[in-house]
Amino acid sequence: MDTLATIKKQIAENSVILYMKGSPAQPKCGFSANAVKILQACGVQFEYVDVLENPDIRTTLPSYANWPTFPQLYIHGELIGGSDIMSEMYESGELQELLK
Amino acid sequence: MSLQQQIETKLKTALSPNYLLVENESHKHNVPKGSESHFKVTVVSTEFQDKKLIERHRLINAILKEELSKKIHALTLHTYTTDEWQKRNETARTSPPCRGGSLHESSKDSK
C-alpha cells in the first residue's frame, strides 16, 4: 500500500488518532507531549503514529492535510489541528464535546 | 533583515493586526545560540472573525509558507479576534517546554 493510502486508512479506521514525534510514553517534542497530555486529560482512548519512526508519513501527511507541522490530531476523520488548537479547544471545553 | 523581522513584516502586511507579537523562543530549545528556529506568534486581527481555529492557523501558515518550508522548525500560534483578546485580558498561553526533539533528527529535515 502506498503511504497516502496507509494514512487514509489510519484516519478512517481510528476515531481519534494523533500523528506525533515520539510515543505517548516518550514524546520527543514539547508540542507532541502537550497534545498527549490533553488527550489523556480528556480520558479518551487514542491511536498514535510516531512520525520520527515513519519518515514516509512525515513527508506525505503535511501536503495531504495542508498542515505543515506535527502533532496533528484527527477526530472522526477530520483534522482538528496541532498542539495550540488542542490547548485552546480544551480550555473552552470544545474538544471534550468533540470527543464525546 | 532577521527572520523575526521578516515574519513581523509579512503578518503586518497580510493581517493588519490590532496587536502583533513575534517572539523568538529558540533559546529555550536544543539549538545553537542565536538561532532563529522556534517562534511564538500572538496576533489579534479582525481577519479572524467567524473563522475556526484551524482556518486561522492555515491562513498564517499560508502567509509564512516560505519561512515554514525552509527556516522555521516550530511555530506556536495564538490567534484572536479583538473581542476574544479582550476577554482573555490581553494575555496568551505560554509554549510547552522542549523535549529535545531536534536531537533526534538530522538538521536537514527539521522544520
Per-residue pLDDT tens over the stretch B40-65: 999 999 999 999 999 999 999 999 99
**Phi-psi region at A77: left, alpha or beta (left = phi > 0; alpha = psi -120 to 50):** left
CA distance B40 to B34: 16
3-state helix, strand, coil in chain A (%, to 5): 50, 20, 30
Q: What is the CATH number of the domain that holds B22?
A: 3.30.300.90
Per-residue pLDDT tens over the stretch B97-106: 778 766 544 3
Q: For residue B111, is pLDDT > 80? A: no
Task: Give the neighbor-by-neighbor strand order of the sheet with B38-44.
Answer: B19-24, B38-44, B74-80
The range of the structural domain enclosing residue A84 comes to 3-99
Q: Which helix (H) or strand (E) holds A33?
A: helix A30-41
Q: What is the CATH number of the domain that holds A49?
A: 3.40.30.10
Average pLDDT over residues B24-33: 89
Of the listed ranges A9-23, A55-69, B11-25, B26-40, the least confidently predicted one is B26-40
Shortest CB distance from A83 goes to which of B68, B96, B111? B96
CA distance A6 to B72: 28
Query: How many domains does chain A contain in total?
Result: 1
Percent of chain B surpassing pLDDT 70: 90
Residue-wise over A58-73: b if at least 16 C-beta within 10 A, else e? bebbbeeeebbbbbbb
Average pLDDT over residues A45-66: 96
| Cell of residue B32, nine digits | 545553537
ipTM: 0.80
Q: For residue A89, is pLDDT > 50? A: yes
Of the listed ranges A44-48, B21-25, B42-46, B98-102, the least confidently predicted one is B98-102
Q: Is B27 at the interface with chain A, CB within 8 A?
A: no
Q: Is A72 at the interface with chain B, CB within 8 A?
A: no
pLDDT at B1: 87
Average pLDDT over residues B59-86: 92
Percent of chain A surpassing pLDDT 90: 95
A29 and B76 within 8 Å at the Cβ level: the answer is no
Query: How many domains does chain B contain in total?
Result: 1
- Measure in Å the smallest separation between the Cα of A99 and chain B Cα atoms: 17
Q: Which helix (H) or strand (E) holds A50?
A: strand A47-50
The range of the structural domain enclosing residue B105 comes to 3-109
B53 and A85 within 8 Å at the Cβ level: the answer is yes
